[in-house]
Amino acid sequence: MHDKTLAELSRLLAEGSTTSVELTRHFLDRIAAHNDSLNALITVTADSALAAAEAADAQRAAGNAGPLCGVPFVHKDIFCTDGVRTSCASKMLDNFIAPYDATVVSKLSEAGMVCLGKANMDEFAMGSSNESSYYGAVKNPWNPDCVPGGSSGGSAALVAAGLAPAATGTDTGGSIRQPSAFCGITGIKPTYGRVSRYGMIAFASSLDQGGPMARSAEDCALLLQAMAGFDERDSTSVERPVEDYSASLGDSIEGLRIGLPEEYFGEGLDPAVAETVRAAVAELEKLGAVVKKISLPKQALGIPAYYIVAPAEASSNLSRFDGVRFGHRCDAPADLEDLYKRSRAEGFGEEVQRRIMVGAYVLSAGYYDAYYLKAQKIRRLIRDEFLEAFNEVDVIAGPTTPTTAFALGAKTDDPVAMYLNDIYTITANLAGLPGVSLPCGFVNDMPVGLQLLSGHFTEARLLNVAHRYQQVTDWHRRMPAAYQ
């Protein structure tokens, strides 16, 4: 069962070949057998999962089950789940039982999905390797000495290892796409504003976006359908109808214009990764796509602009963790300032503290214009450059990451080296664009991700292109030997 896609499991449920209870038990057993070695889940909610599975089976028996009804999955531990610990992989929230459900959580519950637990991640989604988690690093199922990527590293690892057919993720600078690439799964970051951020613990509010992670584009289409939509409780949610993502999956891509930016194939890219991605693009050409070289010179500004905007917003968002209303509180505070400072020093890990401090600095009097305002202007230049490119091409293709998954501990002492991992993913967040990463081959037995970007609200096109590719390739069906 665990080598099947979500869409296949959905069909088995629909034809009565299996039940939600059977699937849920199977995946809970998988988690029990493998989570100790992978460390992909922080919390397992076996009892509530089995209760939800029974309810889903009853709903199906009553004849009103949708395609996701009864399908097990895992939430990234950044989504608030009423009555269940929502830690954001931080000591700060180790004792935090969320008092309400995030919109994404209620939407997937309403669709009848069965949540098996909460996935490990980088602390407050800040990281590219899942090594900043308070609960320890997640291992890459393809090689336990390598990172799974981050910040949605637990989500990616558990899907790759078949501990669940799908997981939710969030992407602020690449946190869905980069771990999807490192673990050989498919993940989509929707257009900014497409999926509600209500109840998704905020890191950088103008960049954060939730999305699905699963085996295939077809799976992601089903999940995104349930996750997307306007939500009045998120002030940046976009009031616009949701397309039918599954309906156009099989459409022909004859004549599709694919842009290959020279900047995505330059210095720093592993030549073997480049070759693998070029082969994937050639496959799309065989399906009728037309490839065109383009140039996006402003892309190089993405990382510096991001490391101003994201920490600035993080320093503001994370000021709510004050040791007063919820979360970690230090022992015996001498005064209010001591309460704030020691609770935050004890509750936040090193990377989170670093980003809060960078943010506090770039927003401080005398530096705001030189840093934050400047970065916001650069953001416009980057977005406009993309929009101009999308006059010429429909989709931009390239590698998701410059290399395959790197070794655990390789970059933990050098924050800037870690940041450079997101060089191809980060600009989509700055521009608010949707992006998908899908497996397109292996280098030294580690998965390689192909990234596809397109214009605002064209998720259906991205999923269509990804699905067509997956119909003629089987990279997305590969599973690591230890977890088959």
Active site residues: 76, 151, 175
* Strand ranges across the sheet with 446-454: 41-44, 114-119, 72-76, 166-170, 210-214, 186-189, 435-443, 446-454, 395-399, 257-261, 290-294
Tell me which residues in 422-441 interact with other proteins (CB under 8 A): 430-433
Part of the chain binding other proteins (CB under 8 A), chosen from 215-223, 280-288, 349-357, 401-409 = 349-357
Instruction: List the one residue from 4, 25, 91, 341 that touches other proteins (CB under 8 A).
Output: 341
79 in contact with other proteins (CB under 8 A): no
61/324 with CB nearer other proteins: 324
CB of 64 to other proteins, least distance (A): 29
Part of the chain binding other proteins (CB under 8 A), chosen from 160-168, 176-184, 211-219, 376-384 = 376-384
Number of residues that bind other proteins (CB under 8 A): 73
- CA dist 453 and 258 (Å) reads 10
Tell me which residues in 19-48 interact with other proteins (CB under 8 A): none
Instruction: List the one residue from 7, 56, 214, 362 that touches other proteins (CB under 8 A).
Output: 362
CB distance 220 to 188 below 8 Å: yes
462 in contact with other proteins (CB under 8 A): no
232 in contact with other proteins (CB under 8 A): yes
CB of 304 to other proteins, least distance (A): 4
88 in contact with other proteins (CB under 8 A): no
What type of residue sits at position 464?
N
Instruction: List the one residue from 345, 407, 472, 482 that touches other proteins (CB under 8 A).
Output: 345
91 in contact with other proteins (CB under 8 A): no
Tell me which residues in 96-115 interact with other proteins (CB under 8 A): 96-97, 99
371 in contact with other proteins (CB under 8 A): yes
326 in contact with other proteins (CB under 8 A): yes
Tell me which residues in 189-208 interact with other proteins (CB under 8 A): 192-193, 206
409 in contact with other proteins (CB under 8 A): no
How far is CA 260 from each of CA 265, 292, 382, rounded to the nearest angstrom? 8, 6, 16
- CA dist 78 and 417 (Å) reads 25
Tell me which residues in 274-313 interact with other proteins (CB under 8 A): 301, 303-305, 307-308, 311
176 in contact with other proteins (CB under 8 A): no
161/305 with CB nearer other proteins: 305
Place of tokens 């931080």: 90
356/448 with CB nearer other proteins: 356
Instruction: List the one residue from 383, 411, 461, 467 that touches other proteins (CB under 8 A).
Output: 383
Part of the chain binding other proteins (CB under 8 A), chosen from 37-45, 151-159, 166-174, 337-345 = 337-345
Part of the chain binding other proteins (CB under 8 A), chosen from 51-59, 369-377, 391-399, 439-447 = 369-377
